[in-house]
Amino acid sequence: MHDLTWWQHAVIYEIYPRSFQDSNGDGIGDLNGILRRLDYLVLLGVDAIWISPIYPSPMADFGYDVADYCGIDPIFGTMADFDRLLAEAHRRGLKVILDFVPNHSSDRHPWFQKSRSSRHNPKRDWYIWRDQPNNWLSHFGGSAWEFDETTGQYYLHSFLKEQPDLNWRNPALKAAMFNALRFWLRKGVDGFRVDVMWLMIKDDQFRDNPPNPGYRLGQAPHSHLLPVYNSDRLEIHGLVAEMRAVVDEFPDRVLIGEIYLPIPQLMTYYGVDLRGANLPFNFQLLQCAWSASAVAEVISEYQQALPDGAWPNWVLGNHDNARIASRIGARQARVAAMLLLTLPGTITMYYGEELGMCNVPIAPDQVQDPFEKNEPGLGLGRDPERTPMPWDASTAGGFTNGWPWLPLGDEHEIVNVAALERDDNSILRLYRNLIQLRQTHPVLVNGKLEGAVAEQNVLRYERTSDLHPTNKDPFAGTPALHPTNKDPFAGTPALHPTNKDPFAGTPARERLLVLLNMAAEAAQISVKSGTVLISTHLDREGTKVGSQVKLRAGEGLVISLEQSSGGPAVR
């Protein structure tokens, strides 16, 4: 995998910092807590952590309301704690990705304080002010406009009124935000996940949005209107390209965009000549029905739509969506793990997914999420998927010595790291083994994906590679990494290429067949002969399969096919 940039072969692990590990007993996770758990992440095998916002914030939206783009909120620690975490992560070979929140700041940000103070303040135009509101809706319910008495105008807020939208058409604002990016890049941060990238630019004429004829009861209230004029505007692409150019001022960094759009629009965020986001987040697996045919379809559609040279990526969960194990059940969560880790490109997983963590029910008096507070009872709240990481079976799950900010739920007595580490068949073991398999079989990262078809309720695809990289220069095209130039592995002996060959044992041409039984019944599938590399049940590795293979209910297999036959085994 040496011919790939780090983020191309990475498994990225999202940490919601309030919920990962508390180190000071206040019931809220923090940077020193993350530091304490770095070795757990190394053992899990992930390559990078993405930490949701840690900047100073009144926490109206738990950090997605930033009051200083170049600081650390005391709830999470100090800048010295951050520097130490970054250094320690790097020492272990882990990259660190921060969350950048450019669409809006906190209403407590000094910029907004100045902006709202007078119509003539130089910062006035850093936010979006109008004499009259239009019909745009906030994602968190109600109008997107708030009247401000001091100056008698309305300001735009696509989320909470405590999150005023920044005006990216203003060059001074843009320069200030780009300098905030440079501040972190200079420190050595490895990249950014950009919050609501597709919303950053709005219609310059502020036209009303049309009604959404497809609106159904129970959907988020802002879906009453089609977001024609306040999302995915054409001008966004120039802006993303400029942001990418800032990130590219520093070597080997990554720009990831949070974008919830249908596949064709999503692809435009790679940008003209791929100068946009390195990775527009692919949320297809979060949104599609859980059936072999539905998943086969999104895989094919996504693959076909990828622009030439664009690098794919797959996401299974995040802090805004129900946990996968709650959506599809414990057994299928293992199938989902195998699916995720056998798809091409960059992988993003959410903390606790490796434990099969479920949504935790939140009683009305425990609600923290402003979305649920604004729109109660619609099932839109995000607290259930943000509960503390259960490290052990103790009352607070080893997460804190204090009172956790959200409950851990009853399940944590069984579903916790310590218990799953003791169990050789646990989902945690499965995740570790799958990540390892991905590292030792680069074909899973950058091989071709062939097939993606549903046979009965079994999803079937092949991952195929051509040449063993010892046949060519693995460092071609990555001069910075070329061993003759410098040693990128200094200080990480276990990873040093002279010590371990990631391609060792990889045949000249690999063909891996992935079979995922997405149903509750067993299935029998015709295959070419091969050897099982891994089963979701972790109990038939190394066994040979002949012309037929039986999959138990909810079983997934990765089979290394024998090389005698020529063409692909799938049709």
Backbone angles phi, psi at 489, to 5 degrees: -100, 10
Q: Which of 14, 47, 107, 195 is catalytic?
A: 195
What DSSP string runs through 359-388? PPP--GGG---HHHHHSTTSS---GGGSPP
> Quick check: 279 and 346 in contact, CB under 8 A?
yes
Q: Which residue, 254 or 561, has its beta carbon nearer to ligand NOJ? A: 254
The sign of the torsion formed by the CA atoms of 261, 264, 265, 270 equals positive
Q: Where does this chain bind ligand NOJ (CB under 6 A)?
A: 61, 64, 101, 159, 195-196, 258, 319-320
What's the closest the beta carbon of residue 173 comes to ligand NOJ, in angstroms? 17
Q: How far apart are CA 378 and CA 361, in angstroms?
A: 14
Q: Which residue, 196 or 513, has its beta carbon nearer to ligand NOJ? A: 196
What's the closest the beta carbon of residue 428 comes to ligand NOJ, in angstroms? 26
What's the closest the beta carbon of residue 61 comes to ligand NOJ, in angstroms? 5
What's the closest the beta carbon of residue 101 comes to ligand NOJ, in angstroms? 6
CA 312 to chain centre: 13
Closest-by-Cβ residue to ligand NOJ is 64
Contacts of 495 (CB under 8 A, 6+ apart): 93, 489
Other CB atoms closer than 10 Å to residue 394's CB: what's the count?
15
Q: Which residue, 319 or 323, has its beta carbon nearer to ligand NOJ? A: 319
Among 11, 158, 36, smallest CA distance to 94 is for 11
Q: Which of 204, 242, 249, 501 is catalytic?
A: 249
Q: How far apart are CA 336 and CA 300, in angstroms?
A: 17
Q: Which residues on adjacent β-strands are paired with residue 154?
A: 130, 147
Q: How far apart are CA 322 and CA 286, in angstroms?
A: 9
Strand 556-561 relative to strand 530-535, pairing: antiparallel
Q: Which residue, 101 or 292, has its beta carbon nearer to ligand NOJ? A: 101
As given in the structure block, the two tokens for residue 190 are 């490895």
Q: Which residue, 81 or 195, has its beta carbon nearer to ligand NOJ? A: 195
Q: Which residue, 166 or 343, has its beta carbon nearer to ligand NOJ? A: 166
What's the closest the beta carbon of residue 529 comes to ligand NOJ, in angstroms? 46
What's the closest the beta carbon of residue 104 comes to ligand NOJ, in angstroms? 7
Q: Is residue 249 among the annotated active site residues? A: yes
> Quick check: 271 and 231 in contact, CB under 8 A?
no
Catalytic residue IDs: 195, 249
